[in-house]
Every structure is written in C-alpha cells, then in structure tokens.
Structure 1
Amino acid sequence: MLKKVFSIALLVFFWVASSFWYFIPEAQAFTEEQKLLLQSWRIVNQSYLDETFNHQNWWKVREQFIKNPLRDREETYAVIEEMLAGLDDPFTRLLRPEQYHSLQVNTSGELSGVGLQINVNPETKLIEVISPLAGSPAEAAGIEPKDSILEIDGVDTQTLTLDEAAARMRGTVGTKVSLRVQSGRDENAQPRTVSLIRDRISLNPVVTALDTTTNNKVGYIRLNQFSANAADEIAQGVNRLEQQGAEAYILDLRNNPGGLLQAGVEIARMWLDSSTIVYTVNRQGALGSFDSTDDILTDDPLIVLVNQGTASASEILAGALQDNHRALLVGEKTFGKGLIQSLFELPDGSGLAVTVAKYETPSHKDINKLGIMPDNVVAQQAITYSQIATEADQQYQTALKLLTSQENVVANAA
C-alpha cells in the first residue's frame, strides 16, 4: 500500500530545514527570505503531481525568482505566489499564517462566516461554490453548488486568490457581506446580489435519525464534512441506530465538499468487507491503494444520496461503495474533484497546499472534472435545511422506496 497520502488539511508535513540544504554549497549564503522561497520551490519540485510543472523548466524558474530582492516577508510571499501561479493550478497555493490556521480550524472546530465551500473553476477561473454548509446563511439564501461568486462586497473575485476570497467571506458574527452570484444551473440567468449576515458555522459533521415511516426501520445518517472526528461520530451514530433496530441505512453525502481523505477511508472501512477503497496515482504513475478489512459495523442494505455538491473525499466514499456493489447511489452527478493535496508547513507558520496525486475509484475511474453518476438519477430543485429527509425531499423519498424491499436493494447493488 502506498504511504498514506492525504487531501487538503489532512496532514501537515513538517519539513526539516537541515534536509533541505544538503545540495547547497556551504559557502553560499542566503537570506532568511531567500531560504523561504527556496524551501517552497523544493517542496513543489519533490511533490507536485505534474512532473512537467506546466511545461516549465523548474530549475530555471528557481534561478529566475531567487534574483528578486526580497526585502521583507510580504515581498517573499508575493514572489512565492507568482512562482506558484506559473503552475496554473488553483489548488497549489501559498497559505499565509492566518490562512493556514483557518484551514486547520476548518477541519477540526468551527468558524464564523457565511458557510460556503469554494473552489476555482479550472476552465472559467471563477470562484465556484462546491457546496453551502448545512444550516449556514449561504444555504438559507439559496446559494447552490456550481454557482459562481463574481463579487464580494463589490470586489471582483477574479482579482482574488481562493484563500483571499474565503477570508473576505469570513468575519465577525452579525456583520454583513454582499455577494454577486451567477447561477450554475441556469447560464442565462442574470447575476443576483445576495446580502448575508455572518454567523457561527458549526462543523459538527454527523446527524442521525431513525425513520419508522416505512415497513423497515431506516437509519438516516447525514455527513456534512470529513473532519477529524467524523469517523468516530459515524461509528457512534450507527451503533445507536443498530440498538434502535435499524434494518437499512441512508447515508446522505449531498453538499458534502470533502475534507480529510483519511476520514473518508476510515468511514468506507466501516461499510466495506475486504475491498479496495481508492487508488492513488502519483506523478511517476505509481499506483497505491487504501483497502478495507473485515471489521464492518453492519451489512444492512445501504443507499447513498449524492448531488453536485458531493465532492472530493465524499466522492471517494461514494465511488468505493458503488464500485464494490455495497450501496446504490441516488441523486445527481457529483462534483468531480479527483485531485489530492497535501499541506506542507513552512518555518514561519505559513504553509503550502500542493497537488501531489490523483485518485481513481476501485474500478479505476478517474472522476476529476467528470464526477460520479448515481445508479438512480433523481433531479431535485433546491430545498431548505429543514426540508432535508422530509416529504419535500424527493431524493430521500426515492431512497426510502428502494429500501422498502431489501431484495430490490441487494439485487441492484450486486
């Protein structure tokens, strides 16, 4: 098995400075600013997925940028960002100390803001919504996956990095932020201005309930994000539902933007018996895998709900359950993010997010920009947070109907 590779915010690789300087002649002195630039360059040199570096001579890039005067830390950051921009990869980026800290908090605690997970669309270069977080101001305002954020408080987002855009939307609870939003569902729709009041965004990743409205008792599990405690909460939730007599399960991954890859792998292991969960491919084409064992929580029938906001680690979990015939997928095609980033901490408390690998589902499907097609496609207009898992939720109701016949679910999943 390939050494564990993690998505954004999963693992911080602490870089030992002494290991970096072995190839530099001792007589050659560098300033602290140059050292930070060179360390950033070397991390990318050793780890970046595209060994052509976007068809650049990476050594020449090093020589070009080390000539900059770098009079202070801000100048160094600007030069590092300029160097990384040449890769034309929005996921490989510098995180200033405050941004780096916010990214860590985003997977382990809570934050205040509007509750949007965002991405840079690689084709349009616009800030694009992966999904609104459940119960957030953004969800309440009707912002949907694939919508584009054109402006934040009047600032054109094409002039902002991904992290700068996220920072502008975060802020003190009770303060207002204005977003100019272009619909992702209707390209002909005129952009609209949405005024949001920032709120405390809970990152509690798991919600469970027992549905007794059908012939079978169905355990409902909604996973909002793959945070550090998601796997433990899933395990506790399933155990409670088993004690309550659950005979089948609905796992809701809709509008789940991902998070920690390892959390996705651990949750897949709770449902899959001795199966491959995901393959990872590095820039040398080396194929590694994460596999499950035989220690599962339950073998009851399972249906997974997905939509356009199901992304990254969510797609890894959904793809593993679908390809191994453990679950049926119901809903809409997923987002299509099949790249893996690692975080590298720099000595001054900043960090680099670097695309280090791509993943394939157990049947070797590369879903990047393509997404995963569910077994049962059920289109659905946006519903509110309070309407999830109710009669207004057509995708949930479809899953319930499928689960009324255990034989039907097993036959379709086999």
Structure 2
Amino acid sequence: MKKLIWSFVFILGFFLLPVTSTQAASNEQSLIREMKEIIKNTYVGTINGNLEKATSIPEIIDMLDPYSTYFTKQEFEDYMNSINLSTIGIGVVIGEHEDGIHILQVIEGSGAFDAGVLAGDIIIAVNGESIIGRSTQETSSLLIGNEGSQVKVTLKHSNETTTTKTITRKKFTLPNVQSEILFGHVGYISLASFSEDGAQLVKKALVDLKKRGAKSFILDLQNNGGGYVTTAEELTGLFPSAKVAYLLEEAHASYTIPAVKQDTKFPANTRILVNRYSASASEMLSASLKDQKAAILYGETTYGKGAMQGFYTLHDGSYLKLTVGKFTGPAHQTIHEVGVKPDIQTTTSPIFQAHYDALKEQYAKYKKLTIGSLDIQTGKLTMKLPSALVSQIAKGHIQLVALGADEVSATAKVEGQTLIVTPTTPLSPDQEYMLLIHSNKQSKAQKGYYQHIKFEN
C-alpha cells in the first residue's frame, strides 16, 4: 500500500469551536477511506467500535475520543480564528460544566455583555435546545453565526434561577495578553489563549514591564484552554532552567521536545496562576515549569487534558482533528484526566496569595505582626498590639495594599494598644489585603511588620 503523507498542525485546545455533520456527499466515501487510514496509523486512544465497518464520518468520529473530530474547510477556519480569539458570536469564553456550559468570561461590548450575561452563568439551552451534556465545541457551533443575527440563550444563574435572553451576534476579538504593575513593582501578565503569536505577546509584555520597573512577575493562565503547541514550547524558553518543553508519546515513538531558546527571561521566582479550567497547552507549560522548578504554581489542580491533537488536511480541503499523542512534563507525571497539581493550592483567587508571597519576599526583613485580636470591617480594621510594638508602630508609616492590585488610601492611629486603620473607601469582603508597617525603630535584622487581612466567610 502506498504510504500517504498528510499535512497537519499540532493543536492543544479546550474550549474552542464547532463540530457539525456537514459533508460533501459526492466524496464522502473517499474521505472515509482516507480518515480510516490516518486513524489506523496515528491515532492514540481507544476506538469504541469496528472502524472498518463504519460507513459515515459521524460514525467514525463517535468511535474516537471527545477531542477528535471532523471539520469542513470553513469550520477549520472558524476554529483557527477562535484560537487567535477572533470570531462572530455572542462574545463569551466557555468551559464544560456538569450542569451545562460554564461562562468563564464575558467580552465587554459583545452581544452577551449588552444582554447582561455574567461570568459564572451556566448555559443550559440554545434556541430552546438543551445543551446539558454537550461539549464546548457543539455548543459553540450553536452560538456562532452571521453578524447581526440573533440567538436565544437560556441561562442558569448562581441563585439557581433561570432566564432566557435574546442575544445579537457580533464580531469580536479577545485581548489575548493584558499586563499591569501591581503594588511593590510586581509585574502581572495574563494570557487568555495559546494563540500563534501568544509567546511573542507575553515576551513583549515582559520586556515592557521590566522597563517600567517590575522586579518580580505573575503569569496568569487561569481559564486558558490551550492552543498551539509551538507557543507552549516558546513560552517555556522564557523561563530560566526550563530546558524541556514536554515529553510526547505517539502511537509508535516517544520524544523529548526542547524549549525554544529565548533572549529574555522571567526571573526564577515567577508565580504561575492556574485553575480547574486551565487546560491542554496551559497544563503543558505548567507541568514543565513545575517539574524543572522554573516557576511556582498557585491555584487549583488543572483540567486534565494531556492529549495532543494533529490536524490532517484531507483531499477536499476539509480536516480531521485527531488525538495523536499524550504528553507529560519532564518528570513523567500523568496529566491526562488527572491534571497538574499546583505547588501552592488556594481556596480563593490565587493572585491574592501569589501577590502576598511576592511582597513577603520583597520585604524579607519584615516580620509577621503578632496581634492579640483582629476585627475586620469594611470601614475599619482594628487590632490589639503587643505593648513592646506600640511605640514603633505609632511613629511608623503604614500602607494598606489590595492584593492583586495597588495601595488603598487609608489613615492609621494608635489608641493605647489598639491600632485602627481606616480606609478612605470601604473594603470589599471578596478582596484580600496586606498591611505593611514600616517601623521608625529599624535595625539591620528587623525593618517592619506585615499582616495578611481577609474577611471570614
């Protein structure tokens, strides 16, 4: 038999775009033979059925894992646009949920934004059709459409109520990389997708933040469902001591894939934020950095998609997306259906703890404040101090920091042994804070104090 050669691009994606049953009837049997040959030679996973007896493309796809599917040429174009965060739809980022499809982010100015859809809402039906139990790809195919057209979306809210909204589809592009300087010269970079230019965008943000004075960094991969493998390889190269991007097991061979060398590096104490919706290429990067101690992971155990897909171009210009390998980090720890466990697990937003730890590191000669009692209210912080510290704190300079953000304007005074800190605007119960006390009675070993402030649930 003549060996066939297919062109393909490796993709690692989680919440992307559509799957339909659209096929050209005239060449379907030729496509079926072509697909069967590719699957026999390269597919990694269980085939649930008799592949040789399959007589239609949907029948073949049903035998494969959830990440393998068939795309027409237009569907492939839509899929690739979604990785690069450009499409026409209602304007949401979505992930799978046991109750339906979870809305992770609503894009400002989108149809969903105009209709009052909120992050955290769960889509349970589209145009009256239940989507519970369906994949993100299937749901996305119902949400996208022509610009200006409308779709009815039924939502389940956090209070268990449901509403149905009519949403107008618009063209939108997600901002893939956002960056800012947090208090203490901590550079923050968020990456929404492993787009084709994702590594270059992160690198540009890194260089810019360094120029603006950032000394340490937080890279946020929360809710990032993946994308290009090459982008993960390039991003790994931005970290010192990270030489290996990932280990790959294909059907007939194993490989060690190196990181792409970069001339700019994150510092070794960089903190990576992940959550249960960080998937695929996000997990590839996270596992690599964790295994090589090139960064510190904060948050929740990740989604658990350690499977790699290849895109095979079929003879009519359509595509077969097929699982062709399983990947792990350099330590060989299983990722698929397990996830990557962070170094520091958090129960609240991981940026709070990551920023807090970055500041503790910066204020290395400061000591955690020993207090007799602490009363936290939105309009006032009250804490009882040891008598030995009263004189130091009374004459010192106090700063209140919103973790994950900047300094909060506040006044402070000492009454007896009680320190009272009053913010100029009310504190948020959903926010965590850090109190810094810069003592006037500084020594070489002791320069001040700090305290983690968070409301009790």
- Paired with 1:294 and 1:349, the residues of 2 have a C-alpha distance of 34
**Contact 2:101 2:136 (C-alpha < 8 Å) held by counterparts:** no
**Contact 1:182 1:192 (C-alpha < 8 Å) held by counterparts:** yes
Sort the Cα spacing of 1:304 and 1:130 in 2 relative to 1 into closer, same or farther, 3 A. farther
Match for 2:57 among 80, 85, 90? 80
- Paired with 1:312 and 1:366, the residues of 2 have a C-alpha distance of 13
**Contact 1:330 1:395 (C-alpha < 8 Å) held by counterparts:** yes
Pair 1:302 & 2:270 matched: yes
Pair 1:201 & 2:172 matched: yes
Name the structure 1 match of 2:425. Answer: none
- Paired with 2:133 and 2:62, the residues of 1 have a C-alpha distance of 13
Match for 2:47 among 45, 53, 56? 53
Name the structure 1 match of 2:215. Answer: 247
Query: Deviations for 1:16-41, whole angstroms, at most 9, x for unmatched residues?
Result: xxxxxxxxxxxxxxx74422221121
Larger RCO (CA under 8 A, 6+ residues apart)? 1
Higher Cα radius of gyration: 2
Pair 1:379 & 2:347 matched: yes
- Paired with 1:102 and 1:407, the residues of 2 have a C-alpha distance of 45
**Contact 1:344 1:352 (C-alpha < 8 Å) held by counterparts:** yes
Residues 256-271 of structure 1: matches in 2 within 5 Å? 256-271=224-239
Give the alignment's Cα RMSD to 1 decimal: 3.3
Deviation of the 1:194 alpha carbon: 5.6
Name the structure 2 match of 1:154. Answer: 128
Deviation of the 1:205 alpha carbon: 1.5
- Paired with 2:122 and 2:44, the residues of 1 have a C-alpha distance of 27
Structure with the higher strand share, 1 or 2: 2
**Contact 2:234 2:260 (C-alpha < 8 Å) held by counterparts:** no
Query: Deviations for 1:354-389, whole angstroms, at most 9, x for unmatched residues?
Result: 111111122211122222222222223xxxxxxxxx
Name the structure 1 match of 2:359. Answer: 404
Deviation of the 1:116 alpha carbon: 4.3
Name the structure 1 match of 2:330. Answer: 362
Name the structure 2 match of 1:313. Answer: 281
**Contact 1:8 1:340 (C-alpha < 8 Å) held by counterparts:** yes
- Paired with 1:235 and 1:401, the residues of 2 have a C-alpha distance of 24
Structure with the higher helix share, 1 or 2: 1
Deviation of the 1:292 alpha carbon: 2.7
**Contact 1:223 1:253 (C-alpha < 8 Å) held by counterparts:** yes
Pair 1:167 & 2:141 matched: yes
**Greater CA drift, 297-306 or 262-271:** 297-306
**Greater CA drift, 164-173 or 130-139:** 130-139
Query: Deviations for 1:291-331, whole angstroms, at most 9, x for unmatched residues?
Result: 23664523522011111221111111112122211221122
**Greater CA drift, 108-117 or 314-323:** 108-117
- Partner AA of 1:155 in structure 2: E
**Contact 2:101 2:132 (C-alpha < 8 Å) held by counterparts:** no
**Contact 2:177 2:192 (C-alpha < 8 Å) held by counterparts:** yes
Query: Deviations for 1:26-71, whole angstroms, at most 9, x for unmatched residues?
Result: xxxxx74422221121111211102x523x453x32xx52xxxxxx
Sort the Cα spacing of 1:40 and 1:162 in 2 relative to 1 into closer, same or farther, 3 A. farther
Sort the Cα spacing of 1:164 and 1:407 in 2 relative to 1 into closer, same or farther, 3 A. closer
Name the structure 2 match of 1:40. Answer: 35
Sort the Cα spacing of 1:148 and 1:290 in 2 relative to 1 into closer, same or farther, 3 A. farther
Name the structure 1 match of 2:201. Answer: 233
Match for 2:82 among 95, 106, 110? 106
- Paired with 2:282 and 2:107, the residues of 1 have a C-alpha distance of 15
Deviation of the 1:196 alpha carbon: 4.2
Sort the Cα spacing of 1:315 and 1:170 in 2 relative to 1 into closer, same or farther, 3 A. same
Sort the Cα spacing of 1:274 and 1:320 in 2 relative to 1 into closer, same or farther, 3 A. closer
**What secondary structure does 1:84 align onto?**
helix
With the length of structure 1 as denominator, give the TM-score of the two structures. Answer: 0.72
**What secondary structure does 2:255 align onto?**
strand
**Contact 1:273 1:296 (C-alpha < 8 Å) held by counterparts:** no
- Paired with 1:157 and 1:138, the residues of 2 have a C-alpha distance of 18
Sort the Cα spacing of 1:397 and 1:194 in 2 relative to 1 into closer, same or farther, 3 A. farther
**Contact 2:243 2:258 (C-alpha < 8 Å) held by counterparts:** yes
- Partner AA of 1:273 in structure 2: S
- Paired with 1:407 and 1:355, the residues of 2 have a C-alpha distance of 45
Query: Deviations for 1:191-240, whole angstroms, at most 9, x for unmatched residues?
Result: 665654434331332111122x22xx111111011101111111111111
Query: Deviations for 1:113-149, whole angstroms, at most 9, x for unmatched residues?
Result: 134455678xx7x8644844665666873344xx864
- Paired with 1:161 and 1:375, the residues of 2 have a C-alpha distance of 30
- Paired with 1:268 and 1:119, the residues of 2 have a C-alpha distance of 25
Consecutive unaligned residues of structure 2, counting only runs of 5 or more, are 1-7, 14-25, 365-457
- Paired with 1:332 and 1:134, the residues of 2 have a C-alpha distance of 24
Match for 2:117 among 141, 146, 152? 141
Sort the Cα spacing of 1:209 and 1:143 in 2 relative to 1 into closer, same or farther, 3 A. closer
Sort the Cα spacing of 1:225 and 1:138 in 2 relative to 1 into closer, same or farther, 3 A. farther
**Contact 1:304 1:330 (C-alpha < 8 Å) held by counterparts:** yes
- Partner AA of 2:129 in structure 1: V
**Contact 2:95 2:277 (C-alpha < 8 Å) held by counterparts:** no
Name the structure 1 match of 2:153. Answer: 179
Match for 1:288 among 255, 268, 276? 255
